[in-house]
Chains A and B, each alone.
Chain A
Amino acid sequence: MEVTTRLTWNDENHLRKLLGNVSLSLLYKSSVHGGSIEDMVERCSRQGCTITMAYIDYNMIVAFMLGNYINLHESSTEPNDSLWFSLQKKNDTTEIETLLLNTAPKIIDEQLVCRLSKTDIFIICRDNKIYLDKMITRNLKLRFYGHRQYLECEVFRVEGIKDNLDDIKRIIKAREHRNRLLADIRDYRPYADLVSEIRILLVGPVGSGKSSFFNSVKSIFHGHVTGQAVVGSDITSITERYRIYSVKDGKNGKSLPFMLCDTMGLDGAEGAGLCMDDIPHILKGCMPDRYQFNSRKPITPEHSTFITSPSLKDRIHCVAYVLDINSIDNLYSKMLAKVKQVHKEVLNCGIAYVALLTKVDDCSEVLQDNFLNMSRSMTSQSRVMNVHKMLGIPISNILMVGNYASDLELDPMKDILILSALRQMLRAADDFLEDLPLEETGAIERALQPCI
């Protein structure tokens, strides 16, 4: 007879995604290999990273993940990282709760005991019984504690992961942090409600990833990889129109409090790429959505859709210089001159600005372990220092992202970089709004009064 898991294929896929697209190999099954702890340990020790899964009933699984399984011949009582989780089926969906602990599993009286600072929180007993402490029950949102009969116990090896659970811990924490960032941005309101949406201008060399950044932002809020702004691999820029993209919070959701403005790419050659004389018009808010750029001639006030009297909401509130991180050291002097020319106009208008370095290969190295700040190794590397010197941008406003052009699914680590960058842009825009001369904010207030 074949030995197969009782885990459903659906739940297996949920677990694999939770853990970062791993593979699971069944090593032990209590109903086949014997119910004793010795039988379990005999097959599961020295297999690398494992998950021990207890099927409580048809709708509930309690499981824990160890970097290395316990061994009968080692009497180690040192606490080790473990990931605990529950899978519970509710109304055709599977809910997963996770918990990171530092426990010391060991074998006592033919029982597998997990101890947390002198308290036994989890025991696999004889006779297919399990014991759960109240703390575990509460954190995993289970419906029982104490002793309970279980249906089956299985142990899997997890492939595609290291023995220590550092990667897993990082993924779990990343997902939590990502969700907090999402909530922050959804709840964001521009300084003093001077405008309802912050306008962020994406400007940079051809192929640096401006449109990809918009697609990545939209993908995060939609929950799957999308491609509204078309990106390509052609040698000349694909973006030839000015686009003002609003981002919805999910399909049919409300608009988020920012817009991303996409431009034609900069080109080092004269008369190619974005026309430099278009920059002031874009910054002031005179450029209409979908304007077809002309590399040789800027828009004029006579253009049929030119916005002759832009208000604060039409203006650009933050500029993001989008640069391919792999090309910074090779920026031609002509391209650099153009970027500086744009920067000069931005400074004249007093607009907030950041740099956005794209196509970062290893997103997990950009941030510190708690995701709150950029890591020193990133901020001190030569490419970041180059941007800092070239454009005079504060290092805290030099942001780094990967993008989703080469991915099939969302990745919480990439999401964190993208959302953190977006949040920094919104913070910079707030600084800009707060710093506006009184006559401009006064004008807004006067414009608001007749409505009351």
Chain B
Amino acid sequence: MAVTTRLTWLHEKILQNHFGGKRLSLLYKGSVHGFRNGVLLDRCCNQGPTLTVIYSEDHIIGAYAEESYQEGKYASIILFALQDTKISEWKLGLCTPETLFCCDVTKYNSPTNFQIDGRNRKVIMDLKTMENLGLAQNCTISIQDYEVFRCEDSLDERKIKGVIELRKSLLSALRTYEPYGSLVQQIRILLLGPIGAGKSSFFNSVRSVFQGHVTHQALVGTNTTGISEKYRTYSIRDGKDGKYLPFILCDSLGLSEKEGGLCRDDIFYILNGNIRDRYQFNPMESIKLNHHDYIDSPSLKDRIHCVAFVFDASSIQYFSSQMIVKIKRIRRELVNAGVVHVALLTHVDSMDLITKGDLIEIERCEPVRSKLEEVQRKLGFALSDISVVSNYSSEWELDPVKDVLILSALRRMLWAADDFLEDLPFEQIGNLREEIINCAQGKK
């Protein structure tokens, strides 16, 4: 028999968030272990804070104990009732576990506000408590099942330590990363996406991670036309005066379904490496070949090696059909040009019910999972090509949980760029080697 909770993901999440971001570990289940409260207490004493959830025909109610149940010892009890997605609570006050679970025979008939009678499969509650929990008067609560959970912090010291270690190893991997075959010194990653998706914000977040505190080199705005109107290629230092990291993030004008966004021909020139840093985009026409920011013979190092489409997680459902067509058309052109691309979902922490504790195992959250599947369905990205991040916006100091998401996304882009470099036609690699030889000879 499987010992699993009856709670849906949504109800479990509501309870978790309500009682302070707890992870719930099932300890006892009436329909499996029996409705004998003595046995229940044997299993559930000395387990730290616990949550007891009672399922009746129409209601989910329960009790949260802030301290361990211990024989004869008073614990502070908070009652709750969960109806649809709303939770109401009522502080019961101090109570011994024997009283709460009707194990104290001598006090069985004493007046009490709330008791869980396992043997008779019912909850004993007075009118005042019913009223305070928002339950209808005179309703009887018969117990179909009850479950007792241990409550642990979602982000406890142990996990934070693990996240910090993971962050450290990711940082090290990115600092020491070498592009495939050392064909270039720095991977160029183009950030492409609708206006307001968080492209510049992602760059700032990456830079913040390596600086050690939150920075704002690329201006980020909230106006609807978008602030990024220049083409920017950002090299990032490892620390304040450190050496440059082996990747460059390229930021461009946002995409728009109307006329205001990035010009389609400009995308080709960006990919090819023809556009110089700080070129001022014109949404109406692409760069002219005689423009002083036009590079007419770009080499491999000037090219874009990976494209990252950046989407706001909460905006995808509102994409117009024109935007979807536009993104798909760009993807097709990337395919023809042989450029690999990945997707990046930002603002994941603004999604409903998502808390910081969820960011550690973000792909296990059902709302995030269904968002990934939406990107796959609408835009055609493989699940393995979609990363999820939470950019820095209002913070001053770094958070290792966010850092891990940002660094993992970056690593995925570098892996994709390696695929691109590995797939280059031999003549391009040969040309590059000739360039290297010429440089070496020139230096002698």
Bound-state Cα–Cα, A81 to B233, Å = 59
B369-393 vs A, CB cutoff 8 Å, 1 = contact: the mask equals: 0000000110010111100000000
Count CB-based A-B contacts (< 8 Å): 121
Q: A9 on the interface (CB 8 Å rule)?
A: yes
Q: B212 on the interface (CB 8 Å rule)?
A: no
User: Which B residues touch A240, using CB under 8 A?
Assistant: 336
Bound-state Cα–Cα, A26 to B27, Å = 8
Bound-state Cα–Cα, A65 to B286, Å = 64
B410-442 vs A, CB cutoff 8 Å, 1 = contact: the mask equals: 000001101110110100000000000000000
Bound-state Cα–Cα, A48 to B1, Å = 6
Q: How many residues of B contact A (CB 8 A)?
A: 54
A157 close to B3 (CB less than 8 A): yes
A1-29 vs B, CB cutoff 8 Å, 1 = contact: the mask equals: 11111011110110000000000011100
A26 close to B25 (CB less than 8 A): yes
User: Which A residues touch B1, using CB under 8 A?
Assistant: 46, 48, 163
Q: Which of A3, A5, A9, A405 contacts B47 (CB 8 A)?
A: A3
A226-270 vs B, CB cutoff 8 Å, 1 = contact: the mask equals: 111011111000101000010010011000000000000000000
B383 close to A407 (CB less than 8 A): yes
Q: Which of B327-356 contact A (CB under 8 A)?
A: 328, 331-332, 334-336, 340-341
Nearest Cβ on chain A to B385's Cβ, whole angstroms:
6
Bound-state Cα–Cα, A117 to B383, Å = 48
Q: Which of B80-134 contact A (CB under 8 A)?
A: none
Q: Residue of B at shortest CB range from A225?
A: B384
Q: B140 on the interface (CB 8 Å rule)?
A: no
Q: A180 on the interface (CB 8 Å rule)?
A: no
Q: A32 on the interface (CB 8 Å rule)?
A: yes
Q: Which of A157, A163, A228, A404 has the most CB of B within 10 A?
A: A228
Q: Residue of A at shortest CB range from B363?
A: A408
Q: Which of B3, B32, B331 has the most CB of A within 10 A?
A: B3
Q: How many residues of A contact B (CB 8 A)?
A: 49
Q: Which of B162, B332, B363 contacts A234 (CB 8 A)?
A: B332
B1-27 vs A, CB cutoff 8 Å, 1 = contact: the mask equals: 111100000000000000000000111
A8 close to B48 (CB less than 8 A): no
With A1-B48, A32-B46, A157-B3 in contact, do A405 and B382 touch (Cβ < 8 Å)? yes
Bound-state Cα–Cα, A27 to B49, Å = 13
- 18 cross-chain CB contacts under 8 A: A1-B48, A3-B46, A3-B152, A4-B158, A9-B159, A9-B161, A12-B162, A42-B42, A46-B1, A46-B32, A227-B419, A228-B419, A230-B334, A234-B328, A238-B332, A251-B418, A252-B181, A406-B383
Q: Which 9 interchain pairs have the tightest Cβ spacing?
A: A9-B162, A225-B384, A25-B25, A233-B380, A3-B48, A228-B419, A2-B48, A48-B3, A230-B335
Q: A2-B151, A225-B384, A233-B377 are in contact. List 4 more A-B contacts (CB 8 A).
A: A3-B46, A8-B162, A9-B163, A252-B180
Binding site for B on A (CB under 8 A): 1-5, 7-10, 12-13, 25-27, 32-33, 42-43, 46-48, 157, 159, 162-163, 218, 224-228, 230-234, 238, 240, 245, 248, 251-252, 289-290, 404-408
